[in-house]
Amino acid sequence: MGGVFEPLEGGGAAVALDEIEISILRSLAVQLLELIGPGEPEPAADADPLAVLFASDGPTEPPADPALARLFPDAYGGPDGPGGGEDPEELRARSAEFRRFTENDLRSRKREDALAVVRSLDSLTPPGEGAAVLELTGELPLRWLGALNDLRLTIAARLDITEDDESAALFRLPDDDPRKPMVMAYLWLGGLQETLIETL
């Protein structure tokens, strides 16, 4: 088991990670948390759930940051997206309304996924010479899958990758290209994500 997820007997997944891999994954997850931002304050325990739902308005405009826009896309795209051919103003209004009621919950879920990655890495015993084995059971494999996907989307936005075939050109970057470390992280996270999907 070297840097890829493998199935655990009885369900779940396991991966061997060395100290550098643990550090990189943790750092990326913390940066993702910083990008997503703090959560909404918890409503009072005696608050009416229906009133809370309709009182807590989320944002109506898409984020300006391209990485956040990739993490929180419009529900109704432009002419080529869902609802193509409809009035652009109507699509914008529908996207704004959808975002208003869903983005805060989506941000919370993405935050919880990234926190699950940080906490599970923090619970590992430092590997010392070899590698530590991280075992994911229960809801953790899905949390990790969500966080790995979000990390790849964020890096893809920073590298301006819009299609899978564009990543092929990134393999040929010279070692002194400043994008090379992000490209290596993007490809490595892709391998982790693919093997985790296969184990599930």
CA dist., res. 186 & res. 180, Å (int):
10
**How many whole angstroms from its chain centre is CA 93?**
26
The model's pTM is: 0.83
- Please give the pLDDT value at position 150: 97
pLDDT digits (tens, 9 = 90+) for 54-104: 555 777 788 889 999 899 888 876 444 455 557 778 888 888 888 888 888
- Token pair for 157: 């936005």
Say what the pLDDT of residue 53 is: 55
Q: Which residues of the chain have pLDDT under 70?
A: 1-2, 39-56, 77-85, 126-128, 163-168
Q: Are 115 and 95 in contact (CB under 8 A)?
A: no
Write the CA distances from 39 to 35, 36, 79, 150, 160, integer angstroms.
12, 9, 33, 17, 27
The pLDDT assigned to 90 comes to 84
